[in-house]
């Protein structure tokens, strides 16, 4: 089926039973399930245990690229001076985060309840051990806040006073916090995990490194994970910016692989967007990206992709459709539900072999 351009958020919708939303990770890393697909083909090549299938999907000359961002303890339960309770979720440092008073820095944050705060109001963490200042309201849900520590001290300060920001659809608690970090996480900055990487144990990741060349990018997952997608045409959706960095050694590895006609395998949509932003849209090696990949996109770098099953009406479903095809993606999601695979952050995964489906020409990529 060919849909007229532009697509709408309804084209990204599907019905998911609540029972299919994973509330806990698999009992061990690698114990999740994996659906293997050839781009554009509806019938899976295989469905099985992740650590029994994944290595077989790799070719000896592949370049495997993973996101090494680490999740901050960015959620701060707070108490206002009126006694009311609330929450501040740090998203990213503002452009002049380090330009304020010595020993302080400013961040963009989501605040609940956003309308209950006042400019220059000092609030304390729930335990009363630390305070922060609500500087200025910047949107319906967002504020600029000032923290009582320098920018490079924020991860340690949050480790003391914050909580790991599990996604809102994870309603059960008691998870091992370490399972919401990838084994290759190195650089603090995300407010949500790059979840495709959660499937790898140290042992499995070592086996990947033995089989293939491996490189890392850093993309700090930010506000878009928590903000809703605009209803209506996807061309009207304003993508969030996320900070990224491609190290020089990764840049050299990617350019070498592309020049030699070798496949670049992206671990997750965050690695995918970073690679396509730099090697498709001409981005710098360090910066921020608001690249929106949807059906009709011409792929420049990524030749295979590992990804989890994503929320209905999300831009990530659009990205998968751009690689796998609209109907093939719908079929894959329907099959995953029928096979009782688990969805979202702690859920199961799909591996998409490229090349990506060819553009039909009736839709366009939106780079905003």
- Mark whether 44 and 118 lie in a shared domain: no
Q: Per the domain annotation, does 95 fall within a domain?
A: yes
Per-residue pLDDT, averaged over 116-123, amounts to 93
Q: Per the domain annotation, does 91 fall within a domain?
A: yes
Q: Per the domain annotation, does 121 fall within a domain?
A: yes
pTM exceeds 0.75:
yes
- Mark whether 65 and 91 lie in a shared domain: no
Determine what percent of the chain is predicted with pLDDT higher than 90.
Answer: 78
pLDDT band at 148 (very low <50, low <70, confident <90, very high): very high
The Cα 230–Cα 149 span in angstroms is 35
Lowest mean pLDDT among 164-168, 189-193, 207-211: 164-168
DSSP code of residue 82: T
The Cα 55–Cα 211 span in angstroms is 8
Per-residue pLDDT, averaged over 123-147, amounts to 91
Lowest mean pLDDT among 49-58, 158-167, 354-363: 354-363
Residue 259 φ/ψ, nearest 5 degrees: -65, -30
- Mark whether 338 and 209 lie in a shared domain: yes
Res 358 pLDDT > 80: no
Full domain range(s) for residue 124:
75-161
The Cα 28–Cα 201 span in angstroms is 8
- Mark whether 80 and 60 lie in a shared domain: no
pLDDT value for 238:
80
**What CATH number corresponds to the domain at position 308?**
3.40.1780.10
Res 354 pLDDT > 50: yes
Q: Per the domain annotation, does 171 fall within a domain?
A: no
Contact between 199 and 182 under an 8 Å Cβ cutoff? The reply is no
- Mark whether 118 and 265 lie in a shared domain: no
Q: Per the domain annotation, does 211 fall within a domain?
A: yes
pLDDT value for 66:
98
Output the six-digit token pair for 144.
């600029």
Report the domain count for the chain.
2
For residue 64, what are the contacts with CB-CB under 8 A and spacing of at least 6? 58, 208, 212, 213, 214, 215, 265, 267
- Mark whether 155 and 205 lie in a shared domain: no
Tokens 């999601």 belong to residue: 333
pLDDT value for 227:
60
Q: Per the domain annotation, does 102 fall within a domain?
A: yes
**What CATH number corresponds to the domain at position 119?**
2.40.10.240
Residue 168, Ramachandran bin (φ over 0: left; ψ between -120 and 50: alpha; else beta) = alpha
Tokens 């994970």 belong to residue: 225
For residue 356, what are the contacts with CB-CB under 8 A and spacing of at least 6? 39, 299, 302, 303, 322, 323, 324
Sign of CA dihedral 260, 274, 286, 160: negative
Sign of CA dihedral 248, 251, 253, 259: negative
Q: What is the DSSP string of 3-62?
A: PPSSPBGGGG-----GGGB-SS--SSTT-SEEEEEETT-SS-SEEEEHHHHGGGG--TT-
- Mark whether 347 and 231 lie in a shared domain: yes
324 exposure class (CB count in 10 Å sphere: 0-12, 13-18, 19+) = buried
pLDDT band at 83 (very low <50, low <70, confident <90, very high): confident
Per-residue pLDDT, averaged over 360-365, amounts to 40
Res 129 pLDDT > 90: no
Res 99 pLDDT > 70: no
Q: Which of 161, 194, 226 is the last residue of a domain?
A: 161
DSSP code of residue 343: B
- Mark whether 96 and 208 lie in a shared domain: no
Per-residue pLDDT, averaged over 89-98, amounts to 80
pLDDT value for 68:
98
Q: Which of 161, 195, 212 is the last residue of a domain?
A: 161
Picking from 123, 118, 112, 115, the residue whose alpha carbon sits closest to that of residue 83 is 123
Residue 360, Ramachandran bin (φ over 0: left; ψ between -120 and 50: alpha; else beta) = alpha
- Mark whether 196 and 89 lie in a shared domain: no
- Mark whether 201 and 316 lie in a shared domain: yes
pLDDT value for 253:
98
Averaged pLDDT of the chain: 91
Res 226 pLDDT > 80: no
The Cα 272–Cα 293 span in angstroms is 10
Picking from 55, 64, 67, the residue whose alpha carbon sits closest to that of residue 264 is 64
pLDDT in tens, 287-339: 999 999 999 999 999 999 999 999 999 999 999 999 999 999 999 999 999 99
pLDDT band at 228 (very low <50, low <70, confident <90, very high): low
pLDDT in tens, 242-271: 999 999 999 999 999 999 999 999 999 999
The Cα 348–Cα 202 span in angstroms is 18
- Mark whether 36 and 135 lie in a shared domain: no
The Cα 216–Cα 249 span in angstroms is 9
Q: What is the DSSP string of 294-342?
A: -TT---SSEEEEEEE---TT-HHHHHHHHHH-HHHHHHHHHHHHHTT--
Res 189 pLDDT > 70: yes
185 half-sphere exposure, CB direction, 13 A CA radius? 25
Q: Per the domain annotation, does 174 fall within a domain?
A: no
- Mark whether 149 and 212 lie in a shared domain: no
Q: Per the domain annotation, does 1 fall within a domain?
A: no
């Amino acid at each position: 089926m060919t849909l007229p351009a532009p697509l709408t958020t309804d084209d990204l919708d599907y019905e998911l039973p609540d029972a299919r939303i994973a509330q806990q990770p698999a009992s061990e890393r690698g114990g999740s399930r994996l659906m293997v697909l050839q781009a554009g083909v509806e019938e899976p090549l295989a469905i099985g245990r992740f650590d029994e299938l994944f290595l077989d999907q790799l070719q000896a000359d592949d370049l495997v690229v993973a996101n090494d961002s680490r999740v901050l303890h960015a959620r701060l339960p707070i108490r206002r001076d009126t006694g009311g309770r609330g929450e501040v979720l740090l998203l990213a440092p503002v452009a002049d985060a380090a330009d304020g008073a010595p020993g302080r820095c400013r961040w963009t944050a989501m605040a609940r309840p956003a309308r209950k705060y006042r400019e220059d109001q000092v609030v304390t963490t729930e335990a009363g051990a630390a305070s922060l200042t609500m500087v200025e309201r910047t949107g319906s849900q967002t504020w600029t806040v000032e923290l009582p520590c320098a920018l490079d001290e924020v991860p340690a300060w949050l480790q003391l006073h914050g909580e790991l920001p599990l996604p809102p659809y994870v309603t059960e608690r008691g998870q091992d916090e370490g399972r919401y970090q990838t084994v290759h996480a190195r650089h603090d900055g995300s407010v949500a995990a790059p979840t495709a990487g959660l499937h790898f144990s140290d042992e499995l990741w070592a086996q990947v490194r033995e089989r293939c060349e491996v490189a890392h990018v850093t993309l700090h997952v930010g506000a878009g994970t928590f903000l809703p997608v605009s209803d209506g045409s996807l061309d009207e959706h304003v993508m969030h910016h996320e900070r990224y960095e491609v190290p020089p050694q990764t840049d050299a590895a990617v350019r070498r692989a592309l020049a030699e006609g070798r496949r670049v395998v992206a671990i997750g949509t965050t690695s995918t967007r970073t690679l396509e932003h730099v090697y498709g849209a001409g981005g710098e090696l360090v910066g921020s990206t608001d690249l929106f990949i949807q059906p009709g996109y011409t792929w420049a770098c990524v030749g295979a992709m590992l990804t989890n099953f994503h929320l209905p009406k999300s831009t990530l479903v659009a990205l998968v459709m751009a690689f796998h095809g609209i109907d093939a993606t719908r079929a894959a999601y329907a099959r995953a539900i029928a096979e009782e695979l688990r969805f979202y952050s702690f859920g199961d995964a799909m591996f998409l072999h490229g090349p990506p489906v060819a553009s039909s020409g009736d839709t366009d990529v939106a780079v905003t």
